[in-house]
Structure 1
C-alpha cells in the first residue's frame, strides 16, 4: 500500500467534493451572486436616485453629478449591505426554489415535460422564496436605500452633509428615530414586490429555458432552429430576459416603495400607498393633475438603467451559476478521489 499523505486528514478532497454536491444550490448561488452584485451595483445606485429625484435628468448627467459630488465611491455607497446579505438571500432563495421543485417532483405534481408545468413549478418556488426571504431582506434593503439617498434625504430636511454617515451610523439613526420596527418601514410593499417579482422571475426563467431546449435532466440540449446560439449563452439570455421583463412589471411598486421609505427616513408625514402612487402619476395638486403620460413616464423613470442592471446582474448570475454547477457535477466521485490520494 502506498504511503499516506500527511494532510489527508486535514484536507479530504473526497469529503469536500461530496459536500459541494450536497450543497450545490447554495455554492452556485453564492459564487454567482457576489460577481453579479458587484458588477450591477452602480446601476442600482443610479436607479434609486432616478426614482426619487423630482426633476427630469438624464442618466449620463446624473452619473456625472454623482461622480463630481461623491466621487467613485458614490456609485458603491452601501455596497457592503448587499454583499453581506447576499450570502443569506441568494443561498436561501435558490435553496427554497430548488427544494420546492424537488418536492413537486417527488410527489408527482406538475411533472409533465411541458412549458406550463415547468414554468408553474418554478413560479411557485419563486413565490415561496420571495415571500419568506422578504422578512430577512427588508431591513437590509431599507438601510441600502438610506445610504444611497443620504444626500437627497438630508436636502429634504434642509441639511447639508459634508461627510455621509457610515452604514452602522445609518442603522443607529433609523433605530434611534423609529425604534426596531423602523427597520421594517415599507415592509408590506417590500413583501408584495418580492413575492410577485420572484414568482414572475423564476416562472419566466424556467419557461424560457424549456423553450431554449433544456432537457428534463437539467442539461442543455440543442437550441431551437429559430435562435441557433451557443449553449453557453443560453443562461445569460434567459436570465437577462426574465430579469428585465419581471422587473418591468413590478417596477411601479418598487418606485412607490422607495418613495414611501424616503419620506419616512426624512421624517416627512406618511401617505397611503394609493396616495403616493396618485401623486407620482398625477402630481400633488388634484385640481390641476398632470397628463397621465407624464405621470407614467415619471413612474418608469430609471427603468432603462434598471433594465441594463438586470441584463448585467441576472445574465451573469445564471451564467456563473451554470458554470459552477457544471464544475461540481464533473467532480470525481468519493471512491475515486480516495484512490487518487493513495
Structure 2
C-alpha cells in the first residue's frame, strides 16, 4: 500500500517532473498524430488522414519515421514543469480545500475541484510550450526548430502571441484534470485495497488509465479548439477565424459537424489513457521513494 505521509512541495514537484518526462518519452508519437488530425479541416488543403494507423503510415512514408518525434524538445522541456505543477498543485489544493471546507478527509467533490484548480495553474505554465509544439507538428511547418518558432512568432506577431490560446488551454486543462483526479478518487475507492506494492501499482495503473480516458473524453473539444487557435498566426487588423473557445466550438460544429469536435480523440485517448496510468504509477513510486529517504 502506498505511503501517505506528507512531503514538502519541492518533493511533489520533483516527482511530478519525473512522471511527466517518463510519460512523454513513451507516448509522444500519438501526440503528433493527434495534432495532425485536429488541424486537418475536412475537405481542405493538405494531407487527409483516415484514422490513427493511416496518419502514422502517411507521416512515415512522406516525411520519415523521425517526424513522429518532431518537436519533442519543446514538450520534454515542458513536461517537467507541466506535470510537476499538475501533481504538486493538486496535492496543495487538496490540503487547502479540506481545510477551507472543514473536511478531514478528501471527497470526490474536493478531488474534482482540486484537479480543476491545478489544471488552471498548469495551463499558465504550458501555453508557450504548447504553441511551439503545435507550430512544429503542423504538416506545413517550415520552422527549423523551437528557437526558430519563438523568434519568428515574437518578430511577426509580438511577445504576447506566445500566450495565444491561453483561454482554450485553461478550459482544456481545467476540464481534463477535474475528470482525471475525480475519477482516480472514485476508482481507487472501488478497487480492492492494496496489500502490497505490486497491488498498489496495479490499482494506480487502472485508476490512472480510467481517469486519463475520462479526462480525454471531456476535454477533447477544447483541445481541438486550442490546436486551431494556436496554429493561427496573429495578424494585426485581421479577424481570426478561431479565437475564443465557445465561438470556435460553434464554428467547427457548423462547418464540419459534431464529429469534428472529437478529431484526434482516438490517438489522444490512446496516449492519455495509458499515459494517465503511467503518470500515476511513476508519481506514486517516486513519492514513496522520497518518503523513505525523508522519514528515515
How many residues matched?
A: 280
Query: Conserved in 2, the CA contact under 8 Å of 1:48 and 1:258?
Result: yes
Which residue of structure 2 aligns with residue 237 of structure 1?
A: 206
Cα 1:78–1:256, aligned 2, differ >3 Å: closer, same or farther? same
Aligned-pair Cα RMSD in Å: 2.7
Inter-partner Cα distance in structure 2 for 1:333 and 1:256: 46
Inter-partner Cα distance in structure 1 for 2:49 and 2:65: 23
Asked if 1:122 corresponds to 2:111, the answer is yes
SS for the counterpart of 1:110 is coil
Cα deviation 1:182-210 (Å, max 9, x = unaligned) = 11112111122222222222122122212
TM-score of the two chains, using structure 1 as the length reference:
0.74
Query: Conserved in 2, the CA contact under 8 Å of 1:243 and 1:311?
Result: yes
Larger Rg: 1
Inter-partner Cα distance in structure 2 for 1:265 and 1:63: 30
Query: Conserved in 2, the CA contact under 8 Å of 1:143 and 1:170?
Result: yes
Query: Conserved in 1, the CA contact under 8 Å of 2:157 and 2:235?
Result: no
TM-score of the two chains, using structure 2 as the length reference:
0.84
Structure 2 unaligned residues grouped into runs of 5+: 1-5, 42-47
Which residue of structure 1 aligns with residue 147 of structure 2?
A: 168
Asked if 1:298 corresponds to 2:252, the answer is no
Inter-partner Cα distance in structure 1 for 2:234 and 2:25: 26
Query: Conserved in 2, the CA contact under 8 Å of 1:263 and 1:269?
Result: no
Inter-partner Cα distance in structure 2 for 1:24 and 1:84: 19
Q: Please say which of residues 97-106 and 170-179 is displaced more in the overlay.
A: 97-106
SS for the counterpart of 1:297 is helix
Asked if 1:327 corresponds to 2:296, the answer is no
Q: 1:72 aligns with which of 57, 61, 65?
A: 65
Aligned positions of 1:185-334 closer than 5 A: 185-213=164-192, 220=194, 230-264=199-233, 269-271=239-241, 273=244, 274-283=246-255, 295-331=257-293, 333-334=295-296
Asked if 1:31 corresponds to 2:18, the answer is yes
Q: 2:135 aligns with which of 124, 146, 161?
A: 146
Structure 1 unaligned residues grouped into runs of 5+: 1-19, 155-160, 215-219, 223-228, 284-289, 335-342
CA shift, 1:99, in A, is: 1.5
Aligned positions of 1:93-108 closer than 5 A: 93-106=86-99
